[in-house]
Amino acid sequence: MSDIPILKVENLCKSYGDLDVLKSVSFEVHKGEKKVFVGPSGTGKSTLLRCINQLTAPDSGFVYLNGEEIVHSGKKINAYRQKMGMVFQNFNLFDHLTAVRNVELALLKVKKMDRKSAREKAMYELEQVGMADRADFYPAQLSGGQAQRVSIARALAMDPEVMLFDEPTSALDPELKREVMEVMRTLAAQGMTCIVVTHEMKFATSFATEIYLMEKGEIVEHGPPSEIPTSPNFVKTRAFMGSYADE
């Protein structure tokens, strides 16, 4: 394992008025690790992801990608964002574009690939998530699980070094959740570095190399899931996971 983490977050803070959403949050992620953030709704988990890729500007603190500080990177931030794939709760696909066009759009506009190469790359990524046979379907013709898999393919098409998943299954029925989780497990098995926000506790404990419990904008406990059931350091995590047990 490299001494330099792929991603390092240092003392990240974010407030909205008098509400402190993030309070000096710090952690780091090395290649191949899967960091999973859990905690009550409204405790800053999604804001943390948005601050990491600068969709939301933090008030203070730093984010380092492969040792390079990106919070104050100015126009270079778009180049850094290409290295951090983001998967949102509600898919964020363009309704007027087919699945393959959704995936290839950034390849054409951002990476400036020619149309043939972009189409080949888009089809490859759709194949990776089991959606090649739905390439010409529009989002309205897809199930929620299928739409989320297309959004994962879109993120993967940029060849990111780390994937950020913000509650990727929260809008899905149980069967469709399993489809998306299986894709995520496959990516992890292939060595993809992942940061995940989720309320799916069984998935969190089976997927994560490390679990972080957040409360009121702070990381209050963290460690490998194997230690949670017995370690006295995980009292809050056990209580939270019990109250949010998967159905």
Strand order in the sheet with 68-69: 19-29, 7-16, 60-65, 68-69
Residues 78 and 179 in one domain: yes
Task: Give yes or no: residues 221 and 197 share one domain.
Answer: yes
Per the structure, the count of domains in the chain is 2
Q: Which amino acid is at 77?
A: I
Render pLDDT for 93-123 as a digit per residue (tens, 0 to 9): 999 999 999 999 999 999 999 999 999 999 9
One-letter amino acid at 116 equals K
For 164-171, what is the mean pLDDT? 92
pLDDT at residue 90 in the model: 86
- Considering the domain architecture, whether residues 1 and 63 belong to the same structural domain is answered as yes
* Tokens, residue 115: 């149309």
Last residue in a domain, options 159, 177, 200? 159
Residues 154 and 167 in one domain: no
Over the stretch 213-237, which tens digit does the pLDDT of each residue have? 999 999 999 999 999 888 888 888 8
Least confidently predicted of 2-6, 69-73, 131-135, 166-170: 2-6
Indicate whether 178 and 239 sit together in one domain.
yes
pLDDT for 2 beyond 80? no
Cα–Cα distance, 54 to 80 (Å, whole number): 10
- Dump the DSSP string for the chain: --SS-SEEEEEEEEEETTEEEEEEEEEEE-TT-EEEEE--TTSSHHHHHHHHTTSS--SEEEEEETTEE-TT-GGGHHHHHTTEEEE-TT----TTS-HHHHHHHHHHHTS---HHHHHHHHHHHHHHTT-GGGTT--GGGS-HHHHHHHHHHHHHTT--SEEEEESTTTTS-HHHHHHHHHHHHHHHHTT-EEEEE-S-HHHHHHH-SEEEEEETTEEEEEE-GGGTTT-GGGHHHHHHHHHT---
pLDDT of residue 219: 96
Say whether both 146 and 227 belong to one domain. no
pLDDT bin (cut points 50, 70, 90) of residue 1 is very low
Once rounded to an integer, what is the mean pLDDT over residues 143-167? 95
pLDDT band at 48 (very low <50, low <70, confident <90, very high): very high
Between CA 52 and CA 29 the distance in angstroms is 12
Q: Based on the domain organization, do 118 and 186 belong to the same domain?
A: no
End-of-domain residue from the set 129, 159, 189: 159
Residue 239's Cα: distance from chain center in Å? 25
pLDDT of 156? 96
- Do 139 and 34 sit in the same domain of this protein? no
Report the amino acid identity of residue 119. R
Mean pLDDT of 126-138: 96
Domain boundary among 114, 138, 159: 159
Looking at the structure, tell me whether residues 58 and 150 fall in a common domain. no
Q: Are residues 227 and 175 in the same domain?
A: yes
Strand partners, 193: 162
pTM of the model: 0.92
Domain with residue 75: its CATH number is: 3.40.50.300
For residues 125 and 221, state if they share a domain.
no
CA distance 215 to 245: 18
Mean pLDDT of 39-60: 94
Say what the pLDDT of residue 245 is: 57
* Domain shared by 50 and 127, yes or no: no
Residue 123 domain boundaries = 91-159
Per-residue confidence (pLDDT) for residue 152, from 0 to 100: 96
